[in-house]
Amino acid sequence: MIRLFRPMVGVCLLLVAPCLLSAEDKPAVNTLTDAEKAAGWKLLFDGKTTEGWKNYKKDTLGKGWKVQDGSLVRADNGAGDILTAGQYDAFEFTVDYNISKGGNSGLMYHVTEVADAPWQTGPEIQIQDNKDGHDPQKAGWLYQLYSSEKDATKPVGEWNTLRILITPEKCEQYMNGVKYCEYVKGSADWNERVAKSKFGKMPHFGKPTTGYICLQDHGNLVSFRNIKIRPITK
């Protein structure tokens, strides 16, 4: 009886322990835990400055981007699409976003500055208010290419966490921990979907295997925080 009981106690403790965490025990916003540091994660936003970001095809940042309450906010006109200072090929990336009512934005990767706009080279993961937004492409989808029947987004005013994994072998997209889609960039399936989309007429779309990460200015209020990346090296 004792041998059967002890493992059950251990299991119960493991299940209960996360529920006992207080707000003080949770990692602070815009910081890395020791485990994340050990795994190679890096912060792309410190919660205090806009250092490490620039507008598309510029060396400066538009005045419409503000740091407010520990968030990077597309707050006003004169913002524009912004890029990371560094370029990345294979990586894991996470970001928290808070979209305004009816709002729209986007996250792009493998963006290069050879075209007129970031979305003409880099695939876009949609960000929007699914309830009152007007775009048929829903939050967490790879725009016009890969969708999901699930909707794990939280209501306007709450933070959502978008996570993507981008490697030559496999790409994955998650919304609040729920897997939305999986694909191989440059595969036959990918090329067929691109050809049927509006991107099929864009010679540079989806071709780069290294590039910037981009946050989109779609004219609406949107906030970002906990912007983190883990470069993947072979």
Domain that holds residue 184: 29-231
Q: Is residue 183 part of a domain?
A: yes
Please say if the pLDDT value at position 31 is more than 70. yes
pLDDT of residue 75: 97
pLDDT of residue 100: 98
Q: Is residue 143 part of a domain?
A: yes
Compute the distance between CA of residue 228 and CA of residue 31 in angstroms, rounded to an integer. 9
pLDDT in tens, 95-152: 999 999 999 999 999 999 999 999 999 999 999 999 999 999 999 999 999 999 999 9
pLDDT of residue 234: 76
Comparing 13 with 83, the larger pLDDT belongs to 83
CATH of the domain at 110: 2.60.120.560
pLDDT in tens, 82-107: 999 999 999 999 999 999 999 999 99
* Total domains present in the chain: 1
Q: Is residue 9 part of a domain?
A: no
Q: pTM (2 decimals)?
A: 0.88
Q: Is residue 13 part of a domain?
A: no
Q: Is residue 22 part of a domain?
A: no
Q: Is residue 145 part of a domain?
A: yes
Q: Is residue 16 part of a domain?
A: no
Residue of 181, 55, 180 whose CA lies nearest to 117: 55
Angle at 27 between CA 23 and CA 32, to 5 degrees: 170
pLDDT in tens, 72-87: 999 999 999 999 999 9
Compute the distance between CA of residue 4 and CA of residue 27 in angstroms, rounded to an integer. 36
pLDDT of residue 27: 78
Q: Is residue 42 part of a domain?
A: yes
Residues of the chain above pLDDT 70, percent = 89
pLDDT in tens, 168-211: 999 999 999 999 999 999 999 999 999 999 999 999 999 999 99
> Is 8 exposed, middle or buried (CB count within 10 Å of its CB: 0-12, 13-18, 19+)?
exposed
Angle at 209 between CA 86 and CA 40, to 5 degrees: 50
